[in-house]
Structure 1
């Protein structure tokens, strides 16, 4: 591997430069073989859709670790651009919304069922009691299914901007389902994702206000390409927030999501 240079790291793997044209995703020891194989299969399926995604080339152990090799994409994450170009924030969000619509324009029935994935996640949440889980799953069962490609984790850190193209990465949570569910998750991440509680109360409240405005702007930008009713989207917010609680999130984000679920439940 080229100088063992780490270019990204998450809860499941490290991404390192493998060659001038390839990167390797080295999975942590707690990740199962089935999950690695699942990601490989999903990426192969998505690649055939024609969407702008990095090609997954092969899967085999490297240095004793499970690994996937991808085509190397020389780009900057949208998160970095939002940070370095604050004056262009609205422009970047508008561009991101159009990109998500282009994903939802495509259909693939060979992907996992969105409903099945969400139900499994909600059932595994420790912060909700059994009655809450049953109520939320009942709400989920009443929502319309879909056959659109849904990324499952569409946010600025999973979008790479290059000189020639915009590439969407990290497709391991992709499903076939309703685009409103995918949009709802993106909006929740824009509002609450990656927040830090080690700041002053005033700063925290200001950040929450700005995040809420940006999420509203993103939602409006999405509707320029795909029309839907507020009611159709709002019905997805509680199940999606509940499913997100199953993930390894910071305590502050979990508290905000639980508060969001509580307020939405009372409102409905």
Structure 2
């Protein structure tokens, strides 16, 4: 496989353009099981009927595992938002419509989001004290269990907009089945990291379109912030801890 220019670079992976499509090449420290699991989960999302980049192969390149997926030509929605801020309202409206479209799907073989969140919070013994972990897990246990497809990393950089106006969602590494408001809480935090006002605008639109109480999404914020501390592309410990501290946020 001939790798061309680097499209995205992260501490644990590089994403290349290649003849077959897009190759996500992971560092040797990245677990092999995670690569195959990502491919499997993306294939399961394909089976829901969503028009997403299709999985082509999992292979080894120079001693590193690589996931090859279909290439979608276009710009990221994040780039378009930055280039045309005057169209932000329209872009945000389409962004939320797309997220709700995903959440209307089900995929029974995907991992349960609540189980994943519980494992992540239990693994934070060196970061969060036992009392806070207990409060987070108690809140998590009290939240309703749903079975909607949740992207887990839904932000404008993971939406490709083609020249003919079609939207494609990429990077399904964190997909699970669970509560749509938990997924919205993650999106809110990713917006809030850069622009709190834009995050609030997103939440207003999401709650209106999905007929969800804003307070319900807010109840998920400390749980999701804690879980994000375990991710390799974490948003920053100080930022996330601020949201975890709002344990009684109503």
Q: Which TM-score band (shorter chain)?
A: over 0.9
Q: Which residue of 2 aligns with 1:203?
A: none
Shift in Å at residue 78 of structure 1? 1.4
Q: Are residues 1:60 and 2:59 paired? A: yes
- Name the CA distance, whole Å, in 2 between partners of 1:50 and 1:10: 29
CA contact (8 A) 1:98 1:221 kept: no
Cα gap change, 1:65/1:256 in structure 2, threshold over 3 Å: closer, same or farther? closer
The offset of 1:231, in angstroms, is: 2.9
Structure 2: distance between partners of 1:120 and 1:43: 22
For 1:167, the equivalent position in structure 2 comes to 168
**Residues 44 and 56, structure 1, Cα contact 8 Å, conserved in 2:** yes
1:106 corresponds in structure 2 to 105
- Return the match for 2:240 from 234, 237, 257: 257
- Aligned in 2, Cα 1:2/1:58: closer, same or farther, shift over 3 Å? closer
- Residue 45 of structure 1: SS of its match in structure 2? helix
The C-alpha deviation readout for 1:208-253, integer Å capped at 9, x for no partner, is xxx22211211122234210123322221111111112224578x3
Aligned residue number for residue 121 of structure 2 = 122
Q: Which of 229, 234, 242 is equivalent to 2:226?
A: 242
TM-superposition CA deviations, 1:152-203 (whole Å, max 9, x none) = 11111111111232110111111110101000110011001xx5xxxxxxxx
Among 187, 198, 216, the residue aligned to 2:200: 216
List per-residue Cα deviations over 1:48-87 (Å, max 9, x = no partner). Answer: 1111210111111123221111111111111211221122
Question: Matched residues in 2 for 1:172 and 1:143: separation?
Answer: 24
TM-score by length of 1: 0.87
* Counterpart mapping for 1:14-163 below 5 A: 14-19=14-19, 22-125=21-124, 126-163=126-163
Work out whether residues 113 and 178 of structure 2, in 8 Å CA contact, stay in contact via their aligned partners in 1. yes
Distance across 2 between alignment mates of 1:226 and 1:168: 19
Structure 1 partner of 2:179: 178
Question: Kindly tell me: are residues 3 and 11 of structure 1, through their superposed partners in 2, closer, same or farther at Cα, counting changes over 3 Å?
Answer: closer
CA distance in 2 between partners of 1:2 and 1:267 (Å): 51
* Runs of 4+ with deviation above 3 angstroms: 248-251
Unaligned residue ranges in structure 2 (runs of 5+): none
Over 3 Å counting, the alpha-carbon distance change for 1:267 and 1:106 in structure 2 is closer
Deviation at 1:113, TM superposition (A): 0.6
Instruction: Give the TM-score normalised by the residue count of structure 2.
Output: 0.93
How far is 1:266 from its partner? 4.6
Conservation of the 8 A alpha-carbon contact between 1:159 and 1:168: yes
Hey, what does 2:214 align to over in structure 1? 230
Q: Deviations over 1:106-155 (max 9, x none)?
A: 11111001011111111223321122111111110010000100001111
Does the aligned pair in 1 maintain the 2:76–2:161 contact within 8 Å?
Answer: yes
Give the 3-state SS of the residue equivalent to 2:210 in structure 1. Answer: coil
Superposition RMSD in Å: 1.8
SS at match of 1:60: strand
**Cα offset, 1:2, TM superposition:** 5.0
